[in-house]
Amino acid sequence: MLLAGVEHNLITFVGDLTVSNIVQAHEELGAALRQDGPVVVDIDGVAEIDLTFVQLLESARRKAAETGRDLTLRHPADGAVLEVLRRGGFLDNENSQRAQFWLQGAAQ
């Protein structure tokens, strides 16, 4: 189960988020974005991700920025997610909006 629950535009992902179930994650995140108000993504319970998830959130982040929506992570990325971001070169510039989104100013 990817979606543990949506409460007031809080979308919670748990378990593995990889190419095998990313389409479902896309639909669920899309549903959350179609609602009014800020969207908060909780990835604390995510065990493993691959680049499709990073790509999905990147696309969502940019969409939100373009449409003036507020999309944030509930907590800064850490653990397995942080490791993928680091290895994939997504955090190269800590001042970029991309790195700010994932790290929320937290140290790498």
Partner 1 sequence: MSGQDPVEIFRQEAQELFEEIEQGLLDLAHRPGDRDLVDAVFRGLHTLKGSGAMFGFDALAAFTHHCETAFDRVRKGEVAATSELVGAVLACQDHMRALAEGGAASEATGEMLLAELHRVVESAGQASSAEVAAAEPDLNTWRVRFSLPADALVNGTRPLPLLDELRELGDCQVTAVTDNIPDFDILVASECHLAWDVTLVTKHGRDAIEDVFIFVIDDMTLDIQAVGEASVEAAVVEKAVVEAAPSAAAPIAAPAKDEAPAAGEGRKAGGDTVRVPAERLDEMMDRVGELVIAQSRLKQLAASSSDIALRAVAEEIERLASEMRDTMMVVRMVPIAQLFGRFRRLIHDLARDTGKTIELSTEGEATELDKTVIERLADPLIHLIRNSADHGLETPEQRLAAGKSATGNIVLAARQSGAEVVITITDDGRGVDRARVRAKAEENGLIQPGQVLSDSDLLQLIFAPGFSTAAAITNLSGRGVGMDVVKRTIEGLRGSIELSSTPGEGSVVSLRIPLTLAIIDGLLVRVGTGRYVIPLSAVEECVELSVEQDMRSTGRSLITLRDQLVPFIRLRSLFATGLAPDPHQKVVVVAVGQERVGLVVDQILGDHQTVIKPLSSFHADVGTFSGATILGDGGVALILDIAHLVAAGQRSDAQLRAAS
Q: From the list 16, 28, 58, 78, which residue makes contact with partner 1 (rule: CB under 8 A)?
A: 58
Distances 2 to 21, 63, 105, 107 between C-alpha atoms, Å: 8, 21, 27, 28
- Least Å distance, CB 90 to partner 1, is 5
Q: From the list 16, 28, 48, 50, which residue makes contact with partner 1 (rule: CB under 8 A)?
A: 50
Question: How crowded is residue 31: how many other Cβ atoms within 10 Å of its Cβ?
Answer: 12
Q: In what order do the strands lie in the sheet with 10-17?
A: 3-7, 10-17, 39-49, 71-73
- Among positions 64-83, residues that touch partner 1 (CB under 8 A) are none
Q: Does 89 bind partner 1 (CB under 8 A)?
A: yes
- Whole-angstrom Cα distance, residue 87 to residue 41? 22
Residues that bind partner 1 (CB under 8 A): 19, 22-23, 25-26, 30, 33, 50-52, 54-56, 58-60, 62-63, 84, 87-90, 92-93, 98
